[in-house]
Structures are given as structure tokens and as C-alpha cells.
Amino acid sequence: MLPIDAAAHSSRWRRRHPVDKAVLGMGLTFCAVGLPPWPGGPLVAAATLALLLGPAGVEPRRLWRAFRVPLGFCVTGALPLLFAVGGGDGWVSLAPDGPRHAAELLLRTSAASLGVLLFAFTTPVSDVLPRLVRAGVPAPVVDVALVMYRITFLLLDSMQQVREAQAARLGHTTRAATWRSLAGLGATVFVRAFDRAGRMQAGLAGRGYDGTLRVLLPTARVSGRFLAATAALLAGLVALTLVLERFVA
């Protein structure tokens, strides 16, 4: 199991309805994108971090490990705004407003990424997919997504076992050996994927599969208090951003 999935299953908000957490996470994401980047971005990021590390109970180390990947994309996307191509200053030159635009983009995207991680760290995928049928998503599409989600962890476990076996047999001592081991790893996982898919199909057929996977979901109800608190938080962030913008502009 991936660390973010393990954190979602052990989250303090695990028993809350996914709608509650989706409204909160997506609301914070939309605020990060729609509000002025300064001071909206830092305010939204601070509020999201407080929720993640406080009520949600996410470990700081796990949060950083998950956040550094989208943060790298945010930085990579902001760097090109520092430069201008063509013009009178040469083929490549520093853009006049490049640092400001890059900082604004970085603030918005990093804060929005934290909003998405809030939902990911508190809501397992297995809680969301079965409920999509009630939202109008065709049941076969949800079934395929559920099967792919579950078999992914089996394949990741197989990859780990093969890599450990290759390392024990000195399969990574040289560059040529590493490439051979990598090719063998891909071939082995490919064969195991087909084998597990065939066994899964045979098992479902033996259990009378009729086109719908029936799974048990934890009992949860949409909380009116939680949604009201979410609305108050989002409204407070919007109001505070608009007020502070007048003083920092």
C-alpha cells in the first residue's frame, strides 16, 4: 500500500462522508486558484496545513513526502515565467515582470496542491469509487476502476519482491546488470499481471459475477455541521484576503 493510501485509511476523518471532505478540499483548492495570489495563497496554504496537521492528524513527514512531488512541478512551471524569448534584449532575457508572475503562479499552485492533498490524505479511494454509482457514473466503469485500484497494489508488491530477489543475486552491481534486471523485472511483472487478471476473472465467474461488484462501505452521513464550518472557513478566507489585499497592494 502506498503511504498516502495508508495515511487515508488511518486518518482521523476516515469515518466522515467523502462529500464533507470533498467540499472542504475542493473549496480550498478553488479559493487558492480564484483568490488573489497575495495574500490569498499563503492564507489558504496556512489554513490547509493547519487542518492537515491538526484535526486530520496527518504526520508532517508523510505530508512532505507527498507534497514535494507536486511542489516540484509547481516550481518547474513557474521558472519559465522568469524569462522572455525574443525582443530587443536578445534571444533569451529576463522578463520584466517575470519574478512577480512566477511567484504568483507558485503561490497559487502550491496552495491548490495542498487542497487536493487534504482530500487524498483523508479519503481512501475505496470509499469514493463505489459511491460514484449513485452520482451517475456507470457501474461497469466503477467496477473496472475498483479492480485496477486493487490489482495495482498486488503488482507493486510483486515488483518489490522481484527487485529484492535481483539485488540479492547481485543484479544491480554494474550498469549492464542493472539494465538486464530492469528488462527482467518488466517481463516478470507483465506475465504476473496477466496471470492475476485471469485468476481474478475465474474467481469472479465462480462467485456468480453478474456485472456489478458489491462491496461493503463504512456507514457515514453527510454532516451539516461540518459543511457549515467549511462554508464559514471558506467565507472567512475570502473576506480576510480581500481585506488584506487593500493594505498590501
More confident of the two residues 62 and 141: 62
pLDDT for the residue numbered 206: 77
Name the DSSP class of 85. Answer: E
Residue 153, helix vs strand vs coil: helix
- My answer on whether 115 and 136 are in the same domain is no
Question: Domain for residue 34, yes or no?
Answer: yes
Q: Please, which residues bridge with residue 93 across strands?
A: 84
- My answer on whether 144 and 98 are in the same domain is no
- My answer on whether 70 and 169 are in the same domain is no
181-223 pLDDT, tens digit per residue, is 888 888 888 888 878 777 877 877 777 766 666 666 667 788 8
pLDDT for the residue numbered 88: 67
pLDDT for the residue numbered 157: 79
- My answer on whether 195 and 83 are in the same domain is no
Number of domains forming the structure of the chain: 2
Nearest-angstrom CA–CA distance, 236 and 114? 18
pLDDT for the residue numbered 89: 66
- My answer on whether 30 and 150 are in the same domain is no
- My answer on whether 18 and 104 are in the same domain is yes
Question: Domain for residue 215, yes or no?
Answer: no
Please give the residue range of the domain that contains residue 189: 131-206
What pTM value is reported for the model? 0.75
**121 closest CA partner among 63, 182, 200:** 63
